[in-house]
Amino acid sequence: MSTKTFASAADLEEKKVTFEQLSEHAWAYTAEGDPNTGIIIGDDAVLVADTQATPAMAADVIRRIREVTDKPIKYVVLTHYHAVRVLGASAYQPQQILASQDTYDLIVERGEQDKASEIGRFPRLFRNLETVPAGLTWPTMTFTGKMTLWLGKLEVQLLQLGRGHTKGDTVVWLPQERTLLSGDLVEFDATPYAGDAYFQDWPQTLDNIAKLNPLALVPGRGPALRGEAQVQKGLEVTRAFIRDVWASVKAGADAGRDLRKVYEETFAKLQPKYGNWVIFNHCMPFDVTRAYDEATGYPDPRIWTADRDRQMWEALEG
């Protein structure tokens, strides 16, 4: 029996990496829609937000950092718990791995299953998987709401501005230069993955980011955003996508239509507007399934397992 594989399984093309300075202390490591890493180079230490998926992939980030500074990489920040964001952490040999307590709780609850699920879905993003140490990436320090780090005279705030991509989402904010590392709360020219999302909360969380009025922003995927207008556009298109998915799915669920029908309708509605975004075909089944759950009485995301992934894909795309 042949089963249709995930859209991402066929995605094998290498992406071109860009490493660029966004403000006095902030750098962006971006790769044409693959997961981004944000870097803060402070007076006495370096902070890295989102690690890449494996230590072998993180080595490329470290190589770029070493081209511009020899300061120690003291902090790794996990903006959320997804494997593709955290499994490279060991390569940096940080003194501390920082995350929200909500992110820590998600790792406890679903870290193992999510890791197996993500690796199965998206093999290209986990290059040299054998370099990942056994077990999960655990924070060494957690916070709730807000935490401030001082890298010498540079103030770095870790903020929870609301639920969105996950319940644990954390942004890294440099108030002195109005630069933000958003994790997957914001995407640009890339489809938000919303399999663990809170659709009804996410737009408000983006509004909370907008209130900071960032001048530069490193999104979870896609090119770094520069200037107020481009940052606002990134927030707007992410918000519009989340609202459009939710509106379509909620209407279908309220009318009593089943998941497959709602998926087909929502895909058809959104494809003309968002179909050219990176990983659209890959994300839509997960996004619609989560939105349908939220609309039909699952306030919290159900755990994705490798089995559940396959069953969902077969149900919607088989």
Per-residue pLDDT tens digits for 142-160:
999 999 999 999 999 999 9
Tell me the per-residue pLDDT of 57-105, one tens digit each, with 9 for 90 and over: 999 999 999 999 999 999 999 999 999 999 999 999 999 999 999 999 9
In a domain, 1, yes or no: no
Whole-model pTM: value is 0.95
Rounded distance between C-alpha atoms, residue 298 and residue 75, angstroms: 35
Calpha distance 185→220 (Å, rounded): 7
**Side chain identity, residue 42:** G
In a domain, 127, yes or no: yes
Query: Do the domain assignments include residue 122?
Result: yes
Q: What angle do CA 236, 224, 242 make, to 5 degrees?
A: 30
- The two tokens of residue 314 are 């077969």
**What is the domain extent for residue 249?**
7-317
Q: Of 285, 291, 203, nearest to 245 (Cα)?
A: 291
What CATH number does residue 77 fall under?
3.60.15.10
Between the CA of residue 76 and those of 123, 210, 247, what are the distances in Å? 24, 25, 36
From the list 235, 237, 232, the residue with the least C-alpha distance to 273 is 237
Burial letters 272-309, b for 16+ CB under 10 A, else e: eebeebbbbbbbbbbbbbbbbbbbeeeeebeebbbeeb
CA distance 318 to 316: 6
Contact 118, 136 (CB under 8 A): no
Q: Is residue 301 domain-resident? A: yes
- Whether the per-residue pLDDT at 13 is higher than 80: the answer is no
Confidence of residue 15 (pLDDT cuts 50, 70, 90): confident
Residue 309 domain flag: yes
Task: Report the number of distinct structural domains present in the chain.
Answer: 1
Residue 11 has pLDDT above 80, yes or no: no
The reply to whether 2 falls in a domain is no
